[in-house]
Structures are given as structure tokens and as C-alpha cells.
């Protein structure tokens, strides 16, 4: 892995359709992916989401049912569930303030910055705040996909599931969370995955990039 570039890893990865249930992901690789999620950038450093790591086979089977039977959830060894805050509250933002003070000192600019954040975020509609928090979870998802590729762990980002059902299975609403996106981890079944032998399809650079000089 050390001789590969980032783009080499991105070319290697794909949305794995069939994983080999006999090949669990080693814990050190899972830990590296989790740490990348923890280090992901978020708006104002709020990290307004939690990562639920599910290895329990019965729970993953329930979630797979809520996701149209997508087998990667049960054939992989780990399921990452990105769950966003259901709202921004003064208490949640104050916890971020405390982390900043502990790391950087009790600086007036920290309190001023987050007081302004509370004044802007807390009065907004709940759905507006949830949508903002969910976008931060997607930033972390992108980092997780790259980290998994760097670890040569297969993954598949999934939006095709019933969030309300997953929230109930994991009892997320009581924790002020709502499931946003799923990411199973495992190792590809090279003989059984129909997508693996197909070439990667991406738009050409000039179709997706506009240069303004």
C-alpha cells in the first residue's frame, strides 16, 4: 500500500456488490477508518453526528431488511451507520466550546465565535439544522470511503434504506440522532461480484471541471 498514490487507491475502490463473508476486516483496519472519520472536517468543528459500528449479525440482518435486502450489510463484517444530530442545541454547541477550551485555552474569541453560532443555529427550524448536520456526516462519509480504500478494505455507501426503520432498530431517536447513510465494510468476492470486472466509469475532466483564471 505504501507505494500507491491516492488516485491509485481511488481507482482500486468501487461500490462493492458482493462481499466474501469468510473474510472479516481486521480490527486495526477498522480502527484506522474510524479514526479518519473522527478526524474529518466539519462546519465550525461541531462534528454533529455519531458513528455507529455494528458487528452484531442479528442487528445487521434487521438493517439489511430495512435496506431492501442489500447483502453487503450481512456479508461484510462491519456496518458503519452515520447518524446526524436531529437538531442543534445550546447544550450541544457548549460541549464543542468545552473541547475547544480544553485544547486551546479559555480564549474570549472561542466564546464569541460559538455564542454567534448559537445565536444563528439554535433558533432555526429543526429540519434545517438536521439537514446541515447530515451534510457534515456526508463529509465524514467521503473521508471514510477514502480511508477504506487506503486500507484496501471494500465498502459501499448506501442511501437506499428506510431511515425511520434503522432509527428504530438502533434506538437512535432517544439519543437525538437520525440515520443518514450506511457503509458496510468487507472484502470483495472476486468470483461472485458482477461489477468487479467492469471498467470504472467517470466523466472526463473537461465535463466536470471548469477552470476560471
Q: Which domains does the chain have, with CATH numbers?
A: 6-88+124-208 (3.40.109.10)
Please check whether residue 33 is in contact with residue 151, taking contact to mean a CB–CB distance below 8 angstroms.
yes
CA distance 164 to 95: 27
Kind plus residue range of the DSSP H or E element containing 212: none
Give, for all 213 residues of the chain, the pLDDT tens digit.
468 999 999 999 999 999 999 999 999 999 999 999 999 999 999 999 999 999 999 999 999 999 999 999 999 999 999 999 999 999 999 999 999 999 999 999 999 999 999 999 999 999 999 999 999 999 999 999 999 999 999 999 999 999 999 999 999 999 999 999 999 999 999 999 999 999 999 999 999 999 999
> Could you tell me the CA-to-CA distances from 192 to 17, 60, 90, 157 in Å, in that order?
9, 21, 50, 19
Amino acid at each position: 500500500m505504501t507505494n500507491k498514490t491516492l488516485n491509485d487507491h481511488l481507482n482500486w475502490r468501487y461500490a462493492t456488490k458482493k462481499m466474501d463473508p469468510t473474510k472479516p476486516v481486521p480490527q486495526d483496519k477498522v480502527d484506522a477508518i474510524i479514526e479518519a472519520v473522527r478526524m474529518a472536517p466539519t462546519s465550525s468543528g461541531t462534528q454533529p453526528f455519531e458513528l455507529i459500528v455494528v458487528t452484531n449479525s442479528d442487528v445487521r440482518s434487521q438493517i439489511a431488511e430495512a435496506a431492501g435486502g442489500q447483502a453487503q450489510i450481512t456479508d461484510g463484517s462491519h456496518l458503519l451507520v452515520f447518524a446526524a444530530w436531529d437538531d442543534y442545541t445550546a447544550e450541544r454547541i457548549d460541549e464543542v466550546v468545552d473541547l475547544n477550551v480544553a485544547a486551546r485555552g479559555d480564549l474570549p474569541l472561542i466564546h464569541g465565535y460559538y455564542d454567534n453560532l448559537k445565536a444563528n443555529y439554535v433558533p432555526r427550524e429543526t429540519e434545517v439544522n438536521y439537514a446541515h448536520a447530515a451534510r457534515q456526516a456526508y463529509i465524514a462519509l467521503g473521508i471514510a470511503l477514502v480511508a477504506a480504500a487506503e486500507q484496501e478494505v471494500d465498502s459501499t455507501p448506501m442511501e437506499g434504506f428506510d431511515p425511520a426503520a434503522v432509527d428504530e432498530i438502533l434506538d437512535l431517536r432517544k439519543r437525538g440522532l437520525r440515520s443518514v447513510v450506511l457503509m458496510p465494510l468487507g472484502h470483495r468476492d472476486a468470483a461472485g461480484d458482477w461489477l468487479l470486472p467492469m471498467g470504472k466509469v467517470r466523466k472526463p475532466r473537461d465535463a466536470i471541471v471548469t477552470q476560471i483564471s
